[in-house]
Amino acid sequence: MTAALFRPFDLAGLLLHNRIAMAPMTRARNPGAVANALTAQYYRQRASAGLIISEGTPVSPQGQGYIDVPGIWSAEQVAGWTLVTDAVHAAQGAIFAQLWHVGRMSHASLQPDGGQPVSAGTRPVASDPKNTSFVYLDDGSRGHADPTPPRALSTEEVPGIVADFLQGADNAIAAGFDGIELHAANGYLFEQFLNPVTNDRQDVYGGSLRNRARLILDTVDAMAARIGAHRIGVRLAPNSQVFDMPAYAENEASYLYLAEELGKRGLAYVHLNDNHLHGAPAIGEAFLKAFKQAYGGTVILAGGMTRDRALRLVEEGTIDLAAFGQPFIANPDLVERLQRDVPLAVPDRNTYYGGGSEGYLDYPLAQ
- Spatial distance between the Cα atoms of 100 and 189, rounded to a whole number of angstroms: 8
Average pLDDT over residues 274-289: 91
Report if residue 359 sits inside a domain: no
CB atoms within 10 A of CB 60: 19
Average pLDDT over residues 292-299: 98
Average pLDDT over residues 29-46: 97
Report if residue 11 sits inside a domain: yes
Per-residue b/e over 8-23, b at no fewer than 16 CB within 10 Å? ebebbebebbbbbbbb
> What is the domain extent for residue 128?
4-351
Report if residue 357 sits inside a domain: no
pTM of the model: 0.97
Categorize the per-residue pLDDT at 1 as very low, low, confident or very high, splitting at 50, 70 and 90. Answer: confident
Average pLDDT over residues 192-207: 98
| 56: pLDDT strictly greater than 90 | yes
Per-residue b/e over 156-177, b at no fewer than 16 CB within 10 Å? eebeebbebbbbbbbbbbebbb
Q: Kind of pairing, strands 321-324 and 299-302?
A: parallel
What digits encode the pLDDT tens for the residues 115-127? 999 999 999 999 9
Report if residue 360 sits inside a domain: no
pLDDT of residue 280: 85
- Spatial distance between the Cα atoms of 140 and 34, rounded to a whole number of angstroms: 20
- Spatial distance between the Cα atoms of 306 and 130, rounded to a whole number of angstroms: 24
Report if residue 367 sits inside a domain: no
What digits encode the pLDDT tens for the residues 77-135? 999 999 999 999 999 999 999 999 999 999 999 999 999 999 999 999 999 999 999 99
Secondary structure of residue 51 in the 3-state scheme: strand
Average pLDDT over residues 137-165: 95
pLDDT of residue 154: 98
How many domains is the chain partitioned into structurally?
Answer: 1
From residue 118, how far is each of 28, 80, 95, 128, 169 by CA, in Å?
22, 27, 29, 20, 21
Report if residue 363 sits inside a domain: no
Average pLDDT over residues 272-290: 92
Average pLDDT over residues 204-229: 98
Domain CATH number, residue 174: 3.20.20.70
User: Who wins on pLDDT, 138 or 77?
Assistant: 77
The single residue of 42, 43, 188, 353 carrying the catalytic annotation is 188
Report if residue 356 sits inside a domain: no
pLDDT of residue 278: 84
pLDDT of residue 42: 98
Residues 351, 25 contacting (CB under 8 angstroms) = no
Query: What is the percentage of the chain residues whose pLDDT exceeds 70?
Result: 100
pLDDT of residue 28: 94
Mean predicted lDDT score pLDDT of the chain: 97
Is residue 188 annotated as part of the catalytic site, yes or no?
yes
pLDDT of residue 182: 99
pLDDT of residue 115: 97
User: Who wins on pLDDT, 279 or 124?
Assistant: 124
Average pLDDT over residues 282-293: 96
Residues 134, 66 contacting (CB under 8 angstroms) = yes
